[in-house]
Amino acid sequence: MAPLDCNWACVMAPAYVYVGIVKREEFDRLALPVTDHGASNPDRPVLTKTAHDPNGCTVVFQHWYGPTPAERAAEAAAAQALARITVAGTVA
């Protein structure tokens, strides 16, 4: 497999390697079946592709899309704060 031309991070656990791929086009180049976890759980907007080594090692490639739960919470808090300021009449 050719090296991926993008930012990536690797976290290892016993027999597992997780690779985060920033660019969707790079993620799509991996010839593996994809699972969309965000389709059934909107709080996990992540696509994964998994490769299993015959010796027991598993590599999970991840691509996060859309806002994360923390980003959505921050956006909601900002909107609520703006609404309170607007109601108080301090914003023209």
Q: Is the pLDDT of residue 15 over 90?
A: no
pLDDT on residue 91: 53
Neighbours of 1 (CB within 10 A): 7
Least confident of 1-10, 16-25, 52-61: 1-10
- 38-43's contacts with Cβ under 8 Å and 24+ in sequence apart are 38/65, 38/66, 43/69
What domains are defined for the chain?
8-66 (3.30.720)
pTM of the model: 0.62
At 30-87, the pLDDT tens digits run 999 999 998 888 778 899 999 999 988 899 999 988 776 777 888 889 999 888 888 7
pLDDT on residue 90: 58
pLDDT on residue 1: 46
Amino acid letter, residue 48: T
